[in-house]
Copies of this chain bind each other. A is one copy, B any other.
Amino acid sequence: MTQTSTTTRLAPHPDRLFPADPGARAVARTVYDAVKDAPIISPHGHVDAALIAADQPFPDPAALLITPDHYVLRLLHANGVGLEALGRADLSGTHHEPPGRTIWRQLAEHWDDFLGTPVRYWFETELHDVFGLDQAPSAGNADAQYDHIADLLASPAFRPRALFDSFGIEVLATTDGPADDLAAHAQLAADPGFTGRVLPTFRADAVFDPTRSDWRPVVASIAEASGIDTGTHAGLLAALRARRRYFIEHGATATDTGVLDAGSAPLSAGERERIHAAALRDPSSVTESEATAYRHDMLYRWAEMSVEDGLVMQLHPGVIRNHHTPTLERFGPDTGHDLPAVGSFTEPLRPLLEAFGTAPGFHLVLFTVDETVFSREIGPLAGFYPAVYAGAPWWFIDTPAAIGRYRSAVTDSASFTKTSGFIDDTRAYCSIPARHDMARRADAAYLASLVVTHQISEEDAVHTARRIVSDIPRATFKL
Contact = CB atoms under 8 A, between A and B. Distances in A.
A457 interface: yes
A77 B386 contact: yes
Interface of A: 1, 4, 8, 12-13, 15-21, 23-24, 74-75, 77-80, 112-118, 121, 320, 323-327, 336-337, 339-342, 344, 346-347, 350, 353-354, 357-358, 369-372, 375-377, 379-386, 388, 396-397, 399-402, 408-409, 411-418, 449-450, 452-457, 459-460, 463-464, 467, 471, 475
A271 B396 CA distance: 39
In the assembly, how many copies of this chain are there?
3
A20 to B, nearest CB: 4
Contacts of A455: 16-17, 116, 121, 400
Nearest to A14: B454
**Which of A112, A379, A467 is packed against the most chain B CB atoms within 10 Å?**
A112
B323 A350 contact: yes
Given A4-B463, A78-B418, A340-B346, 9 more contacts: A16-B455, A17-B453, A17-B455, A78-B383, A115-B456, A115-B460, A116-B415, A324-B354, A324-B358
Contact of A457 (B8, B15, B327, B382): B8
Contact of A15 (B116, B380, B381, B454): B454
B358 A326 contact: yes
A335 to B, nearest CB: 9
Contacts of A327: 358
A396 B379 CA distance: 9
A386 B354 contact: no
B113 A415 contact: yes
Contacts of A399: 412
Q: In this complex, which of A12, A24, A375, A459 has the most chain B Cβ atoms within 10 angstroms of its Cβ?
A: A375
Contact of A380 (B340, B379, B453): B340
A1 B418 CA distance: 10
Q: Which of A24, A369, A384, A396 has the most CB of B within 10 A?
A: A384
Contact of A324 (B118, B357, B460): B357
6 contacts: A20-B453, A116-B416, A323-B350, A327-B358, A371-B372, A372-B372
A342 B118 CA distance: 28
Given A20-B453, A326-B354, A453-B16, A412 B417 contact: no
A67 B336 CA distance: 48
A391 B424 CA distance: 30
Closest 3 CB pairs of A and B: A13-B454, A16-B454, A20-B452
A379 B80 CA distance: 16
A397 B371 contact: no
A113 B17 CA distance: 26
Contacts of A18: 453
Contacts of A13: 454
A375 B353 contact: no
B118 A79 contact: no
Nearest to A471: B1
Given A346-B340, A396-B412, A455-B17, A79 B418 contact: yes
Contacts of A358: 324, 326-327
Nearest to A404: B408
Contacts of A21: 20-21
A462 B457 CA distance: 29
A412 B463 contact: no
B8 A459 contact: yes
A475 B1 CA distance: 10
Contacts of A20: 19, 21, 23-24, 449, 452-453
Contacts of A24: 20
A78 B117 contact: no
Contacts of A117: 411-415
B353 A323 contact: yes
A360 B15 CA distance: 42
A181 B64 CA distance: 58
A475 B2 CA distance: 13
Contacts of A464: 115-116
A376 B463 CA distance: 33
A425 to B, nearest CB: 15
Contacts of A400: 453, 455
Contact of A402 (B23, B118, B412): B412
Contacts of A457: 8
